[in-house]
Amino acid sequence: MPSNIIVPELGESIVDARVARWLKKPGDPVVAGDPLVELETDKIDVEVAAPQAGVLARIDRQDGEDVKIGEVLGIVDAATSAAAPAPVQPSDAAAREAQAAGGGEAQAVRGADDTSARATPSARKLARQHQVDLSSVAGTGDGGRVTRRDVESAIDGRQKAAPAPPARTPEPPATRPEARPAPPAAPAPATPAPRPERGEGRTERRVRMSRRRLTIARRLVEAQHNAAMLTTFNEVDMTAVMQLRERRKQAFKDRYGVGLGIASFFVKASVGALREFPQINAEIQGDEIVFKEYYDVGIAVGAEGGLVVPVLRDADRRSFAEIELGIRDFAKRAGDGSLTLEDLKGGTFTITNGGVFGSLLSTPILNPPQVAILGLHKIEDRPVAVKGQVEVRLMMYVALSYDHRLVDGRESVQFLARVKELVEDPAALLLEV
């Protein structure tokens, strides 16, 4: 009996997707649960599995087509599978004979397909770009799944293993012992290089925007159009935090298996400030204000195809170690493409750190429906006045963008000042938050 392959529910606020790539061809046998097709959404890539065992009888929506939830992507026919003879597993001797006769190629292709199916979408994409055989890559993901980092390691290993071209030994010039060296020739007059023809070397390349990039572009414009967005700035003396990290970093890592970064200090300080200014942890719904009495902090992470913001749930209940472990996990899974829709849902406040890329100052854009976002920046030595004396301190500019419809300038300035106060005094941060 034929069974439809349906575009599944894709998560909160996602109503459509794009067919990124079919993993099987019409006529291929499939097992229930086998990944059949990758869908690209504005947040993550999703694999659609076979609804039953059988044969992929038909593909209705081709690569690159946009689809909506509930639409039919293709058909798996179980009847065809029942009529087909079960494959016979050859003995070792038979397998060697088949390979000697040229029959081993089909076995190898099928093995590569199986390995491809247990690789993440981003790993498959990178492998295609660099012509990496996934069957030769050891997977470190859940259940031995090949991740993007595994493919990157294979590419690095291949590049390091490539032999360098042999150095060319110049041949000695043939000279006669009795011959006198000829006088040096007069240099020829310099000839100007020919001017390139108009348009030569001025090529262009046209690439279709991904679903994620399209959505990022749309949401950023909507954020600016639909909110009265302003930004306030301050600077934080990071000297005490950096000294604390230096003293405790090894003991912290030995105990928890993760480094002590600066993000956990700002998560803790933000939660403390949000408690004092609850409207910054709220959102506008129609003509009502919804105050959130929980603290789900989004952490902006750079990923292939664009920025994603996975959410630390109940950040107020997490220790420094739990925050650092959560952020490390987000960064790893953003890199290998294994973030889920659940990781990206919700969020009451967002922190973004442009300082890791060298940004000195910026104005972050709101992440709707949130009404505020905290931007961190590069830490650098700067001369500052301390109790009437000029000292060189480790300083960071911080920025708070906020929706002026709900948050007044006074509250935004006081909120940022409170974050500064807590970070500059880590002892108070530990005691009060």
Are both 118 and 247 inside the same structural domain? no
Structure tokens at 243: 């000294």
CATH of the domain at 282: 3.30.559.10
pLDDT for res 403: 96
Report whether 294 contacts 314 (CB < 8 A).
yes
Q: Please report whether residue 182 resides in a domain.
A: no
Long-range contacts of 154-159 (CB under 8 A, 24+ apart): 155/126, 155/130, 158/132
Residues 313-327 have pLDDT tens digits of 999 999 999 999 999
Coil, strand or helix at 110 = helix
394 pLDDT more than 90: yes
Catalytic residue among 113, 336, 404, 425: 404
Q: What does the mean pLDDT of the chain come to? A: 82
pLDDT for res 90: 44
198 pLDDT more than 90: no
Arithmetic mean of pLDDT, 63-88:
73
pLDDT for res 117: 52
Q: Please report whether residue 198 resides in a domain.
A: no
Arithmetic mean of pLDDT, 261-265:
94
Q: Please report whether residue 136 resides in a domain.
A: yes
Are both 147 and 44 inside the same structural domain? yes
Are both 249 and 398 inside the same structural domain? yes
Q: Please report whether residue 217 resides in a domain.
A: no
Are both 276 and 425 inside the same structural domain? yes
- Please state the separation of Cα 17 from the chain's center in Å: 18
Are both 15 and 118 inside the same structural domain? yes
pLDDT for res 96: 43
82 pLDDT more than 50: no
pLDDT band (50, 70, 90) for residue 202:
confident
Q: How many domains does the chain have?
A: 2
CB atoms within 10 A of CB 134: 23
Check if 404 is active-site.
yes
Q: Comparing 130 with 395, which gets the higher pLDDT? A: 395
Are both 128 and 240 inside the same structural domain? no
398 pLDDT more than 80: yes
Last-in-domain residue among 120, 137, 154 = 154
pLDDT for res 99: 43
Last-in-domain residue among 97, 129, 154 = 154
Q: Comparing 44 with 425, which gets the higher pLDDT? A: 425
Are both 135 and 244 inside the same structural domain? no
Q: Please report whether residue 51 resides in a domain.
A: yes
pLDDT band (50, 70, 90) for residue 136:
confident
Last-in-domain residue among 154, 185, 215 = 154
Residues 401-428 have pLDDT tens digits of 999 999 999 999 999 999 999 999 988 8
Are both 139 and 234 inside the same structural domain? no
Burial class of 150 by CB neighbour count within 10 A (0 to 12, 13 to 18, 19+): buried
Q: Please report whether residue 314 resides in a domain.
A: yes
Q: Please report whether residue 200 resides in a domain.
A: no
Q: In 192-319, which residue ranges form alpha helices assigned H by DSSP?
A: 211-226, 239-256, 263-276
Residues 266-308 have pLDDT tens digits of 999 999 999 999 999 999 999 999 999 999 999 999 877 678 8
| Residues of the domain holding 73 | 2-83+105-154
Closest C-alpha to 353, from 378, 322, 381, 321:
378
Are both 270 and 141 inside the same structural domain? no
Check if 408 is active-site.
yes
State the distance between the two ends of the chain, measured CA to CA, in whole angstroms: 60
Q: Please report whether residue 381 resides in a domain.
A: yes
Are both 131 and 246 inside the same structural domain? no
Closest C-alpha to 339, from 376, 296, 302:
302
pLDDT for res 342: 85
pLDDT for res 144: 74
* CB proximity list for 128: less than 8 A, separation 6 or greater: none
Are both 40 and 125 inside the same structural domain? yes
Catalytic residue among 314, 343, 408, 425: 408
pLDDT for res 250: 92
Are both 272 and 414 inside the same structural domain? yes
